[in-house]
Chains A and B, each alone.
Chain A
Amino acid sequence: MSSKRLIGLAVLVLGLSLAWAVTASAQQPTPSDDEVNAIARQLFCPVCQNTPLDVCPTQACQQWRDLIRQMLAEGKSADYIKQYFVVNYGARVLAEPPRSGFNWLIYVVPPAAFLLGLYLLLRAYQTWKRTPEEPAAEAGDRPATAAGDPYISRVEEELRKRQ
């Protein structure tokens, strides 16, 4: 084999290797089930009631999981895929409702109710703790006087009259 042919062959092999490397790097690896389910579990089946997409057994859900796989293979982000689902099937497909409009109530009301309950419980606890002690303490500190007790006032008045 002449040196020219050898050089030509070497160039051809090098070119093919480069082409293969470029093609391989441009392709996304096929996303695994775990990668697909990581997004699918953040979504609900648009047709079934209250069924997360990652565990939904219907043909429709399988199609949606395949769609997620395809979009991941195209290099789309999780946020992009979720947004695609919202635009196409409505916000009800999101496992976690978007933080906008009335949806804020879901995030604000439970913690607020919890804090309010905690406050009321604390006040009730303080009242329960104080109630049995205060009357005794107050009775012990103050001598029995007529002030404010019409019955004792009347008794004292009668005593004074008899003296």
Chain B
Amino acid sequence: MTPASDNPSAPVRRSIPIWIQILIWLGLIGLLAILLLGILRSENPMLRVGSKVQDFPLSLYSGYEYQGAGQVHLADLRGKVVLVNFWASWCQPCETEAADLETVWRAYQPGGKVVFLGVDYVDTPPEARVYLQKYAVSYPTGPDLGTNISKIFNRNLGVPETYVIDQQGVLRSIQIGPFQSAADIQAVVDPLLAGN
């Protein structure tokens, strides 16, 4: 038996041009790299207690400004305890805690050591305003434009969710779901004030 390669009568097999093979491999490697990048980005771990919270701007609804400004940055609030509450007008559990949040805010506001930020998650402004008026909310509140703030906290469980950040900008408490009472809210804020 002779090897086929030695036989000139054997059919000549035309292979795919080398430049096409290179292109195919480069394309596949490129697609895999992009896929990997996408997975790494989407698997950004949920912000955990003890993590430093990245700065973000919150544009505020008219009538709900912070010290007269229509926008507040988390970094500007360094030195204060910051309670970030995600809510929406279509969220019924949010209504459970709305009055308590306002009550506690009014208790802390004169001291100036605590700031509440209401972050309105994917909501419609007319209904949001009705909600804010219904519960007489007076702390700074604004929409989560482009869901950029939600992405920082990488929250995906729903609303309401509340994050309490200490004077150094470190996350100290996460509340998934509504607070059951004003005392529950104070129980997560007071220790941070006492520890300062």
- B114-147 vs A, Cβ < 8 Å mask (1 yes, 0 no): 0000000011101100000000000000010111
Q: How many whole Å from A60's CB to the nearest CB in chain B?
A: 4
Interface residue from B6, B14, B24 paired with A127 (Cβ < 8 Å): B14
| Contact in complex: A88, B11 (CB < 8 Å) | no
Give bound CA distance, A46 to B10, whole Å.
63
Q: Is chain A's interface secondary structure helix, strand, loop, or mixed overall?
A: helix
Which of B16, B90, B145 gathers the greatest number of chain A CB atoms within 10 Å?
B90
Interface residue from A47, A63, A88 paired with B89 (Cβ < 8 Å): A63
Q: For B124, what are the chain A residues with a Cβ–Cβ distance below 8 Å?
A: 63-64, 66-67
| Contact in complex: A148, B8 (CB < 8 Å) | yes
8 A Cβ contacts from A85-117 to B: 86-92, 102, 105, 109, 112, 116
Interface residue from B11, B24, B27, B127 paired with A134 (Cβ < 8 Å): B11
| Contact in complex: B11, A131 (CB < 8 Å) | yes
Q: For A127, what are the chain B residues with a Cβ–Cβ distance below 8 Å?
A: 13-14
The answer to whether B7 has its CB under 8 Å from any CB of chain A is yes
Given A89-B147, A135-B11: A63 in contact with B16 (beta carbons within 8 A): no
Q: How many residues of A contact B (CB 8 A)?
A: 38
Give bound CA distance, A36 to B9, whole Å.
71
8 A Cβ contacts from A26-74 to B: 46-47, 58-60, 63-64, 66-67, 70
The answer to whether A125 has its CB under 8 Å from any CB of chain B is no
List the 8 shortest-distance A-B pairs measured between CB atoms, nearest first: A60-B90, A46-B122, A134-B11, A63-B124, A90-B147, A67-B124, A90-B146, A59-B90
A residues lining the B interface (CB < 8 Å) = 46-47, 58-60, 63-64, 66-67, 70, 86-92, 102, 105, 109, 112, 116, 119-120, 123, 127, 130-131, 134-135, 138-139, 142, 147-151
Given contacts A60-B123, A70-B126, A135-B9, 18 further A-B contacts (CB under 8 A): A46-B122, A58-B90, A59-B90, A60-B88, A60-B122, A63-B123, A67-B126, A87-B145, A88-B145, A90-B146, A92-B147, A131-B11, A134-B11, A139-B9, A147-B8, A148-B8, A149-B2, A149-B7
